[in-house]
Structure 1
Amino acid sequence: MNVIDLMVDGFKRVYSGTGKLTKHILLFLITGIVSISSVYVQTVAETMEKTKELGSLNGLLVCLLITLIIGVYMGGYNLLFSHNSFNNEKEYSLPEINIKPFKVFFDALPLMIVWTLYVFAAIGIAFAFLVSHSFLIVLCIFLILAVLFICAFIQFIYIAYAKNFNKKGLYNIVLPFGYVKHTFSDFVLLGLLFIPVYSAAMTPSFIVGLMMGLTGVKNVSAAMYAGGILGGYLSFVVQLVWYYCLVQIYKEKIEPNM
């Protein structure tokens, strides 16, 4: 499996299909709103830390609520995109912009909660072992890193759910170990490939901030907002491509061994 070809095909799927321009304009607006809200929250938090004053919480709470709502929507949209990516007969995977992502997210929420609890429990046990066996500190640290590494493969749980939106059998705590066995090399190579890809996606937002500074814009917040909007959209696109690649790995390496 050539992960570079997977990534290239993923970008093609993101930017193909009917109504692609409208969809991307709407996605740009959605990710722009959440980026503005996130930057505002960060700015307010830094101001509160410097001034040691609580200030007005109304704007902060509104932005936090907006961030939460859009975060839920984007999570559901990722799952819908993953669902569409199982169908290679279509030339595109980008879902319509409607309320369906909310429904998909809340349907998957029990699965997310259970696996989050599994992760916290595993990390908690690893840290408890570290505290109680401090003389084996190297072994304990290795155990914690191993737990975190295996947790990365939990993403395939959500890919499996996205295929038919069916949670049956996906609460089995040993599933990620099987995923590691079948997808280890491809997953690691894909992760290494996406490090520079994600960095490249964030470069334009840095350039926007730099250009604003060079053109005399002294308002740091304005530069942060401008860079954040562009960076938010590009990082979301890269995230979609990442999920497309995971779907293809799941289809080729996991499904035949189920």
Structure 2
Amino acid sequence: MTTALIAGQGALPCIIVDELSAAGEPFVVAALQGFEPELPGQPVEVFRIERLVPFLDRLADLGVTRVCLAGAVRRPKLEPEFFDPRTATLVPRLLAAMQPGDDATLRTVIAIFEEHGFAVVGAHELAPGLLAPAGVPTRATPPKDGAEANLGEATVADMGRTDTGQACVISGGVVLAREGEAGTDAMLAGLAPHAPRRGILFKAPKPTQDRRADLPVIGPGTARNAAAAGLAGIVIEAGGVMVLDLPGVIETLDDAGMFLWVRPPGGGA
């Protein structure tokens, strides 16, 4: 079984490459033009959405049977002059999917891969260690009432209904910020520092999203940015958010006197 890693930007593709290499599994790396990953020495098959069907044929010729989408990619601008005849038949479908938001777009892309005979798997299925176990691994602990986490969960659920984001900042019972297209780090950077150690970053998947793509991610950079914004901690949904370099995240938060709560949906055990 050969896996095609459709890699975007950020640290996640490198982790998946390491996992596949360690397992001795054959794989190829591909990337959407303009969003090539930083994988020094790793050959990358670059493709355009406008020539998606020939690209799928190329994967089949390479013996690929399984596909994983991992890494940050923004919706590209489509250039009509580059469409081949077969991909052109998908244009109405692609355009319709790109209107609502990222989740609708990814659902359509996943469906197209499956219609061409490829199994689609999530990054967390190839690297299950990216999903941190439920609990509080930091020295600092969250408030016992969980009120801010409850509001964060409700806010992300509401955002998910309009396919607009996977994270928010809550402080004092108020939603200070909602994640937009620019992402979590941009949302945090846009916050002026508040009273020290107040508020949380809450991050979770959209309620109905296909978890094989665009599962939320945090890493040490997220922890540093949350600290710079004056937050008390980070709350993520257990089983729904990947953590890049969990030890590094814990160390960063411990140094800042902040907590990480890997919280089951609904706050249950």
TM-score range for the pair, normalised by the shorter chain length? under 0.3
Higher helix share: 1
Looking at secondary structure, tell me which structure has more strand per residue: 2
* TM-score after normalising by structure 1: 0.26
